[in-house]
Each structure stands twice: as structure tokens, then as C-alpha cells.
């Protein structure tokens, strides 16, 4: 996806201001895809209907903030392990991340 021109201009201005740089041109630009699910929570885990298919989606606009913990949780689930203790202590459960949870099934 391509970012809006205004967003590119704002980004350039912020980079130039923060780092005392003068950017001459943009070689490439890209806007990340943000996926959402109806209940607003991320999905991580094997699909109950698709053998071997692992979901890691629905981070919405919080991917950069949730990626480290969600990646660790997903890695544990792929390996058949429990969600890491520090993440579970925050209330994250396998059922809360599951594709088959209430409202998404």
C-alpha cells in the first residue's frame, strides 16, 4: 500500500527536524497493512478449521507496540508451549488469542 502524500511530507519534516538532516528524495515508501478483527484483539494460534495454518493477525494500529510480546507468545504456541509467564501475568491467554474464540468463530 502507498502512504498518503501528506503523511510522507510530515514524516520527512519530522526526520529532518529530529536529526538535523536534509532529505533530497524518497527512494521508496510503503504503508503497512493493518488488519483488524471484530472484537479488536489480536489473533494468534492454529486455525481450528485449517490444519497447520497459524494465525498472527489483527494487531490493528498497535502492531509496533504489541509485536515483541505477541511474537514471543506466538513462538511459544507454534512450539506447543505455554504462553511465557510474564505475558500470561498480564492476562494474555491462549483462548483470548484463539481464532475460534467467541465472536470470531
Query: pLDDT tens, 50-87?
Result: 899 999 999 988 888 999 999 999 999 999 999 999 99
Q: Residue 88 has what pLDDT? A: 98
What residue ranges do the domains of the chain occupy? 1-32, 43-97
Give the end-to-end CA distance of the chain in Å, rounded to a whole number: 29
pLDDT digits (tens, 9 = 90+) for 13-35: 999 999 999 999 999 887 777 88
9 vs 6: CA distance, rounded Å: 5
Predicted TM-score (pTM) of this structure? 0.67
Residues 6+ apart with CB under 8 A from 90: 69
Amino acid at each position: 500500500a502507498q502512504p498518503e502524500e501528506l503523511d510522507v511530507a510530515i514524516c520527512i519534516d519530522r526526520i529532518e527536524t529530529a536529526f538535523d538532516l536534509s532529505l533530497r528524495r524518497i527512494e521508496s515508501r510503503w504503508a503497512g497493512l493493518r488488519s483488524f478483527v471484530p472484537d479488536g484483539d489480536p489473533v494468534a494460534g492454529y486455525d481450528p478449521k485449517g490444519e497447520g495454518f497459524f494465525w498472527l493477525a489483527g494487531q490493528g494500529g498497535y502492531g509496533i507496540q504489541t509485536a515483541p510480546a505477541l511474537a514471543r507468545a506466538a513462538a511459544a504456541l507454534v512450539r506447543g508451549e505455554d504462553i511465557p509467564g510474564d505475558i500470561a501475568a498480564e492476562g494474555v491467554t491462549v483462548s483470548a488469542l484463539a481464532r475460534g474464540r467467541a465472536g470470531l468463530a
